[in-house]
Structure 1
């Protein structure tokens, strides 16, 4: 059996590795040995698991492989940002973005090939949905870039809606944060979402990661015109759920707000947003819009964004303007599009 036909061990939780160990006739503790080889020593081949017996490795290799795959291509920005292309699903590749910033090194990972949400301003949404990534696909993005060992933060802000592939995202978070895995603090991980309510509640209950909510408009009609999911998952309902959780200590809540000239960037919009967020412990990230083909949307100018930020701060809402990174390689917010096998 070729590796392509085998099941990937990368991305498996300790519970799943225990099932694999039992299936292959290995003792239960072999699961932790495998986890150590996969996530700490980061080996590339089952035969490298030298504290498993030769017979155990041969049995394991019949159905399973490590499942690591290097990026297919990369593009480097003048600001040091690097966009990596990985195999995806359904003929559509996926992208991950490495963002160095002084003492931080962040990787923006994808959770789906394409996206079902259909947001008007997003290149990923334009390409449609091609399939969910597995936990192994997600963890491979973390382990297989050249800068892997220096990463300080992970953000689920790449291609796809994480709450639309929650089981795989939760398994990936478990691998990232467990002592038998990468042993990261949950405070190093942020998950961005449009706010699928049932799934968001599960994320909040089962993890301690930071959360970023895509808002982008202070009123339901305007948000629905930009984000069709507003109809199914009204922002007011999402915010009501979030009010039941503590974001004052270990966990942080961010509000993502892309700014478009003449659409959502007036001081009146700032006041409406402040009213909407009143009493919620959060910070607002104001984001420049990066032009995508065939779109009539354009970004707000710097002075408008500064006035908007200052008005929010005056009204008691902490707001900052996010520094734009990687625009010259189409790696900035909303620009990730992957590459079809049919693309030239």
Structure 2
């Protein structure tokens, strides 16, 4: 019989585990402490549990932590880690050190269903959802874990298409029984998914980043098929109902494509679309991927685009590109090779 994993369980789930095994209720917090506040490799190391209770746990459970199976290092210091999940699947996570900040870009799915035109993960297709344990393992087993200042759900997959496990992982990250991090250290990026968009905003205080890439619905649909199911206008209407000025940051991700969405005409449309919303725009350089004819705009064009938006009251930044030489930059993550896909 395959054993179940303890790592990734919330406190309420651990309470269910100890109850089912006839252990005292307080053992759930003890287990949580071992799982999330210390780095252990086996149940035997949980020394404040009695030998009897450790044996009971071992009959049905194991820890469930897995070290990365591969690491690729960029000339700019970025490191891309490969993790094996669910037995025979793989995901990538990207560690980005930057002066006093150190960010980890985590994955939430193996592949992705969204099939955005500019993204290698989407070209790979969808294979599986990650569990909360799979998501947290990318953090907990990271060699540089103690250096981390920020987590971004901008790796493989659409986080809101795996909302239950993503929210469980965030609970562990932000709860006192888990990592105890502020939600302001965590950003979740989404292309927009109608069934879980509002739920994420209501149930989480983490920062939200919406993949925009065009202010025009028809053009966005060409770049991002998800637009047809949940339009940009619907997304913006929902966002207008919330106050993002205090508890969290709202940003819009905008990849700038040469000759597609890089003229000031689009900047003006962005101003119209987002008028009255407390937000920022992150401009991202497009990184060429195989089989896609799109090109990235030059820095002069991106700078002019940024300056126009900022001068008209919409705070805009140009995100530094990191890890392109190891295919770790935005839109370049893929485990198609490991998955046996073409």
Q: TM-score, normalised by structure 2?
A: 0.98
Partners of 1:97 and 1:272 in 2: CA distance: 33
1:236-287 per-residue CA deviation (whole Å, 9 max, x = no partner) reads: 1001111111111120001000010000000101111111111110000000
Report how far residue 314 of structure 1 moved. 1.8
User: Does 1:253 find its partner at 2:254?
Assistant: no
Report how far residue 198 of structure 1 moved. 3.2
Partners of 1:224 and 1:25 in 2: CA distance: 54
Report how far residue 42 of structure 1 moved. 2.1
User: Aligned ranges for residues 1-344 of structure 1 at < 5 Å?
Assistant: 5-89=2-86, 91-338=88-335, 339-342=337-340
1:144-188 per-residue CA deviation (whole Å, 9 max, x = no partner) reads: 010011111100000000000000000000000000000000000
**Contact in 2 for aligned 1:91/1:130 (Cα 8 Å):** no
Secondary structure of residue in 1 paired with 2:338: coil
Report how far residue 90 of structure 1 moved. 8.2
Count the aligned residue pairs.
Answer: 341
Partners of 1:191 and 1:258 in 2: CA distance: 17
Report how far residue 88 of structure 1 moved. 3.3
Partners of 1:136 and 1:88 in 2: CA distance: 10
Secondary structure of residue in 2 paired with 1:205: helix
Report how far residue 342 of structure 1 moved. 3.3
Partners of 2:69 and 2:88 in 1: CA distance: 14
**Contact in 1 for aligned 2:124/2:341 (Cα 8 Å):** no
In the alignment, structure 1 segments of 5+ residues that lack a partner are none
Report how far residue 89 of structure 1 moved. 4.8
**Contact in 2 for aligned 1:256/1:285 (Cα 8 Å):** yes
**Contact in 2 for aligned 1:81/1:98 (Cα 8 Å):** yes
Partners of 1:343 and 1:229 in 2: CA distance: 23
Secondary structure of residue in 1 paired with 2:96: strand
Partners of 1:113 and 1:82 in 2: CA distance: 19
Q: How large is the Cα RMSD of the aligned pairs?
A: 1.2
**Contact in 2 for aligned 1:90/1:130 (Cα 8 Å):** no
Partners of 2:22 and 2:277 in 1: CA distance: 52
